[in-house]
A and B are shown apart, each in its own frame.
Chain A
C-alpha cells in the first residue's frame, strides 16, 4: 500500500497514493497507516484525494486506524472524492470523522 508522509509544522499529513481502499488492500492499508503514523504528534491528516473507491473493508480499516491513534492522536480526513464521501454518508460515518474538503482546509483548521 503506497502512502506518502509529509510533516507540516507539527501536523502529519499522510497521502494515499493509490486509487482504491478495498478488501484487497484494507489490511495492508491499516498496517501501513500504523507504521507511518508512529512518529506523529497530535494530529494526523489523511489526504484521500487520490482515492476514488472505498468499500466496507476500507471503511473498517479507517475506523481501525482512528481507534489505533486515539486518544492521544486525532485523525482528520481531507480531500474526499464523491464515491468515498457517499460511503461515509450512507453509513453515517461522516458524523464520526472530522472531514475537510482539502488538506489545506484541514491544516488551516488546526492552526486557528
Chain B
C-alpha cells in the first residue's frame, strides 16, 4: 500500500492528510484518495478539475525532481485544509531542494511557433501558478514545503 489517508474530510479544522511514497502509480493512487477525501466538500466540477490538476503537477514535480532516481525515493505528504471558501494545500517531501531555493516562475509557454518548435514541457509550473495563489516554497532542514491556496467558487460546505 503506497498511500495512507488519515482523515476522510476537510470540514472545519480537520485537514485531509494523504501520505505516499514517490512513484507514478503512487501519484495516481494518492490523487484518487485526495479527490475521494474532498468529496464531502461537493466541489463544482470545474474546481475539482483544477484541484486534481494542480496536485498532479505538484506531486509529479516532487517525484521527478525532488526524488530523481529510483534509489532516492521518499515520502510525500499532502495536506488539504478547507477554510473560508478555499483549500489551503501543503505538499511536503524530504528530497532534493528546488534550484536556487525558489519555486519556478511558471511563465506561460509560447504557442505561436512553427509546429517543430513547440514546447513539449514546462507547462506544469505555469498550471500550478495560474490556478493557485499565495504560493510559497520553503526548505527547512531536509524538508521541502510547498504551500498554496486555491479559492473554490462554490461548495455546499460554505
Contact surface of A with B, Cβ cutoff 8 Å: 20, 22-24, 53, 55-57, 59-61, 63-64, 66-67, 70-71, 82-83, 86-87, 90-93, 95-96
Contacts and interface: CB of A to CB of B under 8 A. Distances in A.
B15 interface: no
B120 A82 contact: no
A56 B115 contact: no
The contact size tier of chain B is 20 to 34
A55 B116 contact: no
A20 to B, nearest CB: 7
A82 to B, nearest CB: 7
A64 B120 contact: yes
Nearest to A75: B115
Given A60-B123, A63-B118, 13 more contacts: A23-B64, A24-B27, A56-B124, A60-B119, A60-B121, A63-B120, A82-B45, A82-B46, A91-B111, A91-B123, A91-B127, A95-B111, A96-B118
B109 interface: yes
B111 A55 contact: no
Contacts of A56: 57, 60, 121, 123-124, 127
A55 B118 contact: no
Interface in B103-158: 108-109, 111-112, 115-116, 118-121, 123-124, 126-127, 130-131
Contact of B115 (A23, A57, A71): A71
Nearest to B55: A55
A23 B57 CA distance: 9
Contacts of A20: 28
Contacts of B112: 95
16 contacts: A23-B27, A55-B57, A56-B57, A56-B60, A56-B123, A56-B124, A57-B124, A66-B115, A66-B118, A67-B116, A67-B120, A70-B116, A71-B115, A90-B131, A91-B108, A95-B112
